[in-house]
Amino acid sequence: MESYSETAVEARRISKIFPGETEVRALDDVSVSIHRNEFFTLLGPSGCGKTTLLRVIAGFEPPTMGALFLAGTDISRLPPNQRPVNTVFQNYALFPHMSVANNIAFGLEMLGKPKDEVRKTVDDMLRLVRMEALSARRTSEISGGQQQRVALARALAPHPEVLLLDEPLSALDLKLRKEMQIELKRLQNETGITFIFVTHDQEEALTMSDRVAVMNAGKILQIGSPQEIYQRPAERFVANFIGESNFLDATLSGHTATLKAGGAHEVDPPEGVSDGTVSVLVRPEHASVRVGEPKTNEMAATVETVVYSGEATTLHLRLGTGEALKARLPNSPGGGALPGQGTAASVSIAPGAVTVLKD
């Protein structure tokens, strides 16, 4: 257990209910504790409550129930302008009637900082986001990527305890998005500010984050490092949302899962899963396929489709049980012999690659 000094933000049993004809429970008893100086990502499909949680932390939405702590202090009732928390908005929300420099200076001026300190910090921020040359421009006169960087600089300038980022990269094209992902990591390292990042893009979440919280229907399903989330998802939803997955039926007995399609595998079942019929996850890249009769711990399968995608080939297989299985095989320079479409094949699964799911 970490002490308060290491915790930047702590949400305690927060619920947010939007009243109306159909009551919407946007957040359902959410508890999470975000470490200081951490790149924390809220990941989930649209409508899962991730943006609502961000808005509760920013102070734009009061929680219906629960409490919010910042560095150990209850800030649940504090208005947004009194929270040392700044936001980078999805549409950037730059002030169109101000120059780039005045946008960045805004927060500092509102805090009543002396003029020369404001000027110095603005210069530092312009340098940090590499926008020195455009400081006098209007925000309508710069490109989307540049607006993005100004929005970041404006939110970082008052040096908040926590920076909230609401899908800030979604409006950028792929190349710019990749650049900004690296840029964001660099900014987080250089400033030492806690970043809470909201996205529906699993790849973005895995690349940038120290920890990821996967959300669905107003609840946090799992919190962990990108590796944990990808390799040991707790539930089918998490497994399905992140990366490609195969779900197979199996029988669990202690630390051994016997697949219905054949083969026994050593597993480390999550808490609360008892022996009997379970669902297990196998990632496509953890299955290998060869031509020939199945040996021990292998499964018989028929190749239905072969999809070539440059660095890998994906085989869509049908197992003896009727279950579908995707196997993703890296392409070697020589181009090894892969089973062709319609042929019989044997599938083996790498040791430790079978993950038991909670549901």
Partner 1 sequence: MSEPIRQPRRGYSVRSLPGFAVVAVFTFFALYAPILILVAFSFNAGTSLAIWEGFSLRWYAQAAANEAVQEAAVRSLILAGVAASVATVAATMAALATTRTRRFPGRTMIYALINQPLMVPEIVTAVALLIVFAWIKVATGHTSMVYLISAHTAFCIPFAYLPIRARLETMDYTLETAAKDLYASPWKVFSRVTLPLMWPGIIAGYMLAFVISLDDVVITEFVKSAGQETLPTFMLGQLRRVVTPEINAISTIILAAGAILVSLFFWLSRGRR
Please report whether residue 89 would count as binding partner 1 according to CB under 8 A: yes
Q: Please report how close the Cβ of residue 81 comes to partner 1 at its closest, in angstroms.
A: 5
The structure tokens listed for 111 are: 């805090």
- Which listed residue (24, 111, 217, 300) binds partner 1 by CB under 8 A? 111
Question: CA–CA separation, 233 vs 202, rounded Å?
Answer: 13
Nearest-approach distance from CB 107 to partner 1, in angstroms: 4
Residue number, 58 or 75, with CB nearest to partner 1: 58
* C-beta of 91 vs 253, nearer to partner 1: 91
Which one among 8, 14, 39, 106 touches partner 1, defined by CB under 8 A? 106
In whole angstroms, the minimum distance from the beta carbon of 201 to partner 1 comes to 21
Alpha helices for 232-327 (secondary structure H): 236-241
Tell me the C-alpha to C-alpha distance, in Å, between residue 242 and each of 49, 224, 230, 235.
17, 13, 6, 11
Distance of closest approach, residue 97 Cβ to partner 1, in angstroms? 5
Assess 140 for contact with partner 1 (CB under 8 A). yes
Q: Which of residues 201-240 bind partner 1 (CB under 8 A)?
A: none
Looking at this protein, which amino acid is placed at residue 10? E
Q: How far apart are CA 44 and CA 34, in angstroms?
A: 17
3-state secondary structure at position 281: strand
Site for partner 1 in 154-193 (CB under 8 A): 154-155, 158
DSSP string covering 163-207: EEEESTTTTS-HHHHHHHHHHHHHHHHHH--EEEEEES-HHHHHH
**Which is closer to partner 1, CB of 155 or CB of 221?**
155
Cα separation of 205 and 211, whole Å? 9
Q: How far is the CB of 26 from partner 1 (least distance, A)?
A: 17
C-alpha to C-alpha distances, 113 to 93, 98, 108, 146, 178, nearest whole angstrom: 23, 19, 6, 26, 35
Q: Which is nearer to partner 1, 89 or 247 (CB)?
A: 89
Interface residues with partner 1 (CB under 8 A)?
58-60, 79-82, 85-87, 89, 91, 93-97, 106-107, 110-111, 140, 154-155, 158
